[in-house]
Structure 1
Amino acid sequence: MIEVNELTKRYGGTTAVKDLTFTVRPGLVTGFLGPNGSGKSTTLRMVLGLHAPTTGTVTVDGRPFRSRPRGLRHVGALLDASHVHGGRSATAHLAALARSNRIPRGRVDQVLDQVGLAGAARRRIGGYSLGMRQRLGIAGALLGDPPVLLFDEPLNGLDPEGVKWVRELFRSLAAEGRTVFVSSHLMSEMEHTADELVVIGRGELIAAESITDFAGRGSGAGVCVRTPHGDRLAALLTVEGATVRADGDLLTATGVSAQRVGELALDHRILLHEVTTRNPSLEDAFMELTADSVEYAAGETR
Structure 2
Amino acid sequence: MIEVNRLTKRYGDVVAVSNLSFTVPPGLVTGFLGPNGAGKSTTMRMILGLNRPTSGTATIDGRPFTARQAGLHHVGALLDAGDVHPGRSARAHLSALAHTNGLPRRRIHEVLEEVGLADAGHRRVGGFSLGMRQRLGIAAALLGDPPVLLFDEPVNGLDPEGVRWVRGLFRRLAAEGRTVLVSSHLMSEMQNTADRLVVVGRGELIAEETVTEFAARGARAHVTVRTPQAALLVPLLAAAGATATPDGADALAVTGLPAAQVGELACRHHIVVHELTTHHASLEEAFMELTAHHAQYSAQETR
TM-score normalized by the length of structure 2: 0.93
SS at match of 1:86: coil
SS at match of 2:85: coil
Residue 227 of structure 1 and its aligned partner are, at CA, apart by 4.8
SS at match of 2:215: helix
Residue 225 of structure 1 and its aligned partner are, at CA, apart by 3.0
Aligned counterparts of 2:245 and 2:128: Cα–Cα separation in 1: 52
Partner of 1:172: 172
5 Å-filtered alignment, 1:141-180, equals: 141-180=141-180
Partner of 2:286: 285
Q: Map Cα deviations across residues 40-74 of structure 1 (whole Å, 9 max, x no partner).
A: 00000001111000011111112111122211111
After alignment, is 37-46 or 26-35 more displaced? 26-35
Q: Map Cα deviations across residues 169-193 of structure 1 (whole Å, 9 max, x no partner).
A: 1111111111111101111221221
Matched-pair identity in %: 68
SS at match of 1:256: coil
What is the one-letter code of the residue matched to 2:298? A
Q: Does 1:29 align with 2:29?
A: yes
What is the one-letter code of the residue matched to 1:200? V
What is the one-letter code of the residue matched to 2:278? T
- Which 5+ residue runs of structure 2 have no aligned equivalent? none
SS at match of 1:27: coil
After alignment, is 5-14 or 22-31 more displaced? 22-31
Aligned counterparts of 1:150 and 1:24: Cα–Cα separation in 2: 10
Residue 263 of structure 1 and its aligned partner are, at CA, apart by 5.0
After alignment, is 138-147 or 285-294 more displaced? 285-294
5 Å-filtered alignment, 1:1-302, equals: 1-227=1-227, 230-249=230-249, 250-262=251-263, 274-302=275-303
Residue 228 of structure 1 and its aligned partner are, at CA, apart by 5.7
What is the one-letter code of the residue matched to 2:14? T
After alignment, is 56-65 or 212-221 more displaced? 212-221
After alignment, is 154-163 or 224-233 more displaced? 224-233
Aligned counterparts of 2:2 and 2:208: Cα–Cα separation in 1: 13
TM-score normalized by the length of structure 1: 0.93
After alignment, is 252-261 or 111-120 more displaced? 252-261
Give the number of equivalent residue pairs: 302
Aligned counterparts of 1:175 and 1:294: Cα–Cα separation in 2: 33
Aligned counterparts of 1:59 and 1:268: Cα–Cα separation in 2: 55
Compared CA separation, residues 271 and 42, structure 1 to 2 (3 A): same
Aligned counterparts of 2:203 and 2:268: Cα–Cα separation in 1: 50
Aligned counterparts of 1:193 and 1:105: Cα–Cα separation in 2: 31
Residue 268 of structure 1 and its aligned partner are, at CA, apart by 6.1
Residue 167 of structure 1 and its aligned partner are, at CA, apart by 1.0
RMSD: 1.9
